[in-house]
Amino acid sequence: MSVLSRLLHRDVPARGLEILPMRRRDFTAIQVIEHQVYPQPWSINVFLNEIELAKQGQRYYTVGYRSGELMGYAGMMLVLEEAHITNIATDPKRRRSGIARHLLADLAWEARGKGCTGLTLEVRISNVAAQGLYHLFGFEPAGVRPRYYENSEDAIVMWCHNIDSPEYAARLRLLCPDVAEIRGES
């Protein structure tokens, strides 16, 4: 089995993941994950503001549940033809099980549906696992933001262009066929 095939088929635990719009009732579980994965977690008020902006079409936030338990969440800011991914977080006990890949696929399908042609994000220079995930989705390094994070760690700015193309849709279908099917894109 090729490396790509192994990466694509590691998601058995992600099966049964229900991807839903983020709601207020998710905030308690989100805060638990926020405090586990981020040195400076977002407050509930930040999430409330982001959800209000989502109602206006300026943001999109999603959560992943399995068996009633929050597994992870993700969000992005929509500006003209670009979508800036603001966060993707998975319960640390559930990492490397395909959850982040499913959430990222959902973000990408949503951005395409909103007419975006590009996705961008920042990632810690030390977060090699996340960079690998982003590469699977077609992201490439575009620059560095020196001392971007609270501990002065640099951020790699990554971009994925032409997400509106048929080729990119095919990539998304390959990476997460179940997300494509749920969204009517299979």
Catalytic residues: 122, 134
Which of 139, 137, 141, 140 is closest to 154 using CA atoms? 141
The CB-side HSE value for 102 (13 A sphere, CA atoms) comes to 33
What is the rounded CA–CA span in Å between residue 161 and residue 112?
A: 11
Q: Which one-letter amino acid corresponds to residue 52?
A: E
Q: Write the DSSP assignment of 134-152 as a string of letters.
A: HHHTT-EEEEEETT-STT-
Token pair 């501990």 in the structure block, residue: 151
The full 3-state SS of 31-92, as one line of letters, equals HHHHHHHCCCCCCHHHHHHHHHHHHCCCEEEEEEEECCEEEEEEEEEEECCEEEEEEEEECH
